[in-house]
Structure 1
Amino acid sequence: MKQVKIMGVPLSHIDHKTLVKQLDEHVMLEEKSFVITVNPEIVMRANEDTAYMNHLHKANYITADGIGIIRASQLLKDPLPERVTGYDLMIDLLSISNIKGYKIFLLGAHKDVLKRVETNLQHFYPDIQIVGSHDGYFNWDQSDEIVEQVKQADPDLTFVALGAPKQEQWISENIDQFNKGVFLCVGGSFDVIAGDVKRAPATWRKYNVEWLYRLLKQPKRWRRMLALPRFAIRIIKRKLKGSP
């Protein structure tokens, strides 16, 4: 598969529909797959943390979960086809699982949030098989216990909502212990499914200002948003130097 490198991060040149189809095939063939969706903040973090960059490089697919990544690829004259977000991937894979009987494991969020996620998923996807779950508030030395729990559940799809950089690190460090399954980083998607956070309306997403909607709803995110201008400056400098 063609890759587009942005500041050392190899993004998959793939659209949403094609990726969903490929992940479905991985499940049917009982193959392993590690999927990360990145935004400018994650790319900046990876450039400042070699260990984190190495975790990203272990993924089978890395997609653009932020319009800033798409704009950067266009500026660098190697455009990605479209945004492919973790939330949208999760929703489509849940729909497929509801039809095909794929087994689901949920990792992340507070215990009470996780309960609401499971309740809502069972409501919207009546035939879904949630074979296990674990909240995201655990000590890293408990990771082996969680790995064993996932192994026992034997899921086809594991949605990991620990937030960056923990979710990418957890999958990277543990995926070799599994024989099969799609492992997808989904960030704050559990909060949306639980009803605690409202996703930006379709119009905001259409005009690529979902980031602004999030900022207005969660002003505390302003510190995280500082990564955006820093990312833009780095991309412009690379454009001038002729490097990806």
Structure 2
Amino acid sequence: MRASFLGCPIDILTMAETIDLARKAMRDRRRLQHVALNVAKFVNMRSDPVLAADVANSDVVGIDGMGILWGARALGLPARSRVTGVDLLGELLAVCAQDRFRPYFLGATPAVLQKAAQRARDKHPSLVLAGLKDGYFTSEQESDVVRDIRSSGADCLFIGMPTPRKERFLAAHRDELGVSFIMGVGGAFDVLAGEVHRAPVQMQQFGLEWLYRVYQEPGRMWWRYTRTNTLFAGVLTQAVLRQALRRAFSEAQNALPRGTGRIGG
């Protein structure tokens, strides 16, 4: 189910439903682009037209962040659960191993990428990777990267490059890649490689993963999360208040005796 959340499209899907869509796209050789929406991406979309267009033009906009889930619920959308990018990556690697689909990993540092690939193979011995390419390539090398992805015959492409670089790469080359399922995975390769640890489950449930990331990387993450969380809270609060005022006004209008307020009534 597609809905509008503060002007941004979101797809209200479960993990199982998202996996089914990805599997069907790979099986039918039909392109499907997935975007995982979190608070930081939502806030950055408001000032980055390329990022906003990438999200709007994606086939599936999944609810990744707990803040997005809570915000959707606060506005009355029937969102039951989120589908985090790192969890979806893990599930889809299992699907690839089972169904013989071949993923391509793009992004991260060479060392992290190799380690992530090895750990994925260790967990899924039947997994065959179509290719690997780190994210440290120049704009002049982009055509070579696109050519390598296309010639690899990959069924799915997982991109671990930062926003907005990933979006700019896809905007320029999406139609040339020849890959059925495309998904940005953010920093999931670092998690897969064991270089970054996820927050404890209870912190995830209470929407405090951002705080755990700040704890792990305070210098890089403190300002990012302070800025985006504050801006998101402001936007959401205004929307909730507007919705409440509209509802109150509508109820007050409906409660008026028939003909009240009409000229000559």
- TM-score, normalization: structure 2? 0.87
- Partners of 1:24 and 1:90 lie apart in 2 by 13
Deviation by residue 1:85-138 (Cα, 9 ceiling, x = unmatched)? 111111001011111111110000011111111211111111101111110011
- 1:4–1:73 Cα contact (<8 Å) kept: no
- Partners of 2:112 and 2:29 lie apart in 1 by 30
- 2:12–2:63 Cα contact (<8 Å) kept: no
User: Aligned letter for 1:147?
Assistant: V
Q: Which residue of 2 aligns with 1:192?
A: 191
Using the TM superposition, give the Cα deviation of residue 50 of structure 1 relative to its aligned residue in structure 2, in angstroms.
1.8
Q: Which residue of 2 aligns with 1:230?
A: 231
Unaligned runs of 5+ in 1: none
Deviation by residue 1:35-88 (Cα, 9 ceiling, x = unmatched)? 110111111111112222111111101111111101111121224221111111
- Partners of 1:172 and 1:8 lie apart in 2 by 21
- 1:120–1:193 Cα contact (<8 Å) kept: yes
Larger Rg: 2
User: Aligned letter for 1:72?
Assistant: G
- 2:157–2:179 Cα contact (<8 Å) kept: no
- Partners of 2:140 and 2:45 lie apart in 1 by 23
Q: Identity of paired residues, percent? A: 24
- 1:58–1:172 Cα contact (<8 Å) kept: no
- 1:104–1:131 Cα contact (<8 Å) kept: yes
- 2:121–2:127 Cα contact (<8 Å) kept: yes
User: Aligned letter for 1:233?
Assistant: G
**Helix, strand or coil at the partner of 2:130:** strand
- Partners of 1:179 and 1:195 lie apart in 2 by 30
Instruction: Identify which of structures 1 and 2 has the higher relative contact order when contacts are C-alpha pairs closer than 8 Å and 6+ apart.
Output: 1
Q: Which residue of 2 aligns with 1:134?
A: 133
Unaligned runs of 5+ in 2: 247-265
- Report which stretch shifted further, 84-93 or 117-126: 117-126
Q: Which residue of 2 aligns with 1:73?
A: 72
**Helix, strand or coil at the partner of 1:63:** strand
- Partners of 2:241 and 2:46 lie apart in 1 by 19
Using the TM superposition, give the Cα deviation of residue 180 of structure 1 relative to its aligned residue in structure 2, in angstroms.
4.0
Query: Is 1:148 aligned to 2:147, yes or no?
Result: yes
Q: How many pairs were matched up? A: 242
**Helix, strand or coil at the partner of 1:164:** coil
Deviation by residue 1:133-189 (Cα, 9 ceiling, x = unmatched)? 110011123222111100000101110000222223322332212444101110001
Q: Which residue of 1 aligns with 2:257?
A: none
Q: Which residue of 2 aligns with 1:115?
A: 114
Q: Which residue of 1 aligns with 2:211?
A: 212
| Residues 202/239 of structure 1: CA separation in 2 closer, same or farther (3 Å cut) | closer
User: Aligned letter for 2:5?
Assistant: I
- 1:171–1:183 Cα contact (<8 Å) kept: no
- Partners of 2:43 and 2:234 lie apart in 1 by 11
- Report which stretch shifted further, 213-222 or 86-95: 213-222
- 1:59–1:172 Cα contact (<8 Å) kept: no
- 2:147–2:177 Cα contact (<8 Å) kept: no
- Report which stretch shifted further, 41-50 or 197-206: 197-206
Q: Which residue of 1 aligns with 2:61?
A: 62
Following TM superposition, the consecutive aligned residue runs of length 4 or more in structure 1 with deviations greater than 6 angstroms are none
Q: CA RMSD in A?
A: 1.6
Using the TM superposition, give the Cα deviation of residue 4 of structure 1 relative to its aligned residue in structure 2, in angstroms.
2.3
Q: Which residue of 2 aligns with 1:11?
A: 10
Q: Which residue of 2 aligns with 1:40?
A: 39
- 2:69–2:81 Cα contact (<8 Å) kept: yes
- 1:35–1:61 Cα contact (<8 Å) kept: yes
- Partners of 2:54 and 2:168 lie apart in 1 by 6
